[in-house]
Amino acid sequence: MSSISTHVLDTACGRPAAGVDVFLDSCDGRGTWTELARGTTNTDGRIPSLLADGAVLNPGVYRLRFTTGNYFLSLGVRGFYPEVHVLVSLDDPAARYHIPLLLSPYGYSTYRGS
C-alpha cells in the first residue's frame, strides 16, 4: 500500500493554508500526465492521504499540483504563482511519502517530510 500526504503552510500569515486543491498526477515516461487523485487541504492545511485505501503506486515520477492562485484570491491577496507543481521520483511503493509546501504570495519551498 502506498501513502502520499501533504501539508500546506502559509508562511506569510503564519498559519495552515486551508482550502488548497491538490492534484496527484503520474507520468508515463513519455511526458504524458494522468490525474490519479485529488483533495483539498483541511482547516489544518493537511491532506492526510491523497490515495484511496489499498492503492499502490508504481515506481516513477509523480507531480503534485497545488492551486495556490485560488487560495490567495480567497484571501484577497494577489499571488505570483497561480499554481505550484512539485515533481517527485517515488521508488518504493510501500513507503509513506509526506510532501509539505511552505507558501507565501511570492515564493514557496518544499521538502520530503516524515
pTM passes above 0.85: yes
What is the DSSP secondary-structure string of 6-25?
EEEEETTTTEE-TT-EEEEE
Question: How sure is the predictor about 1, in pLDDT bands with cuts at 50, 70 and 90?
Answer: low
**What are the beta bridge partners of residue 15?**
10
**Domain that residue 89 falls in:** 3-110
CATH number at residue 8: 2.60.40.180
| Mean pLDDT of all residues in 41-55 | 91
Phi first, then psi, for residue 64 (nearest 5°) are -105, 125
What is the pLDDT averaged over residues 12-18?
96
Report how many domains make up the chain: 1
Burial (0-12, 13-18, 19+ Cβ within 10 Å), 19? middle
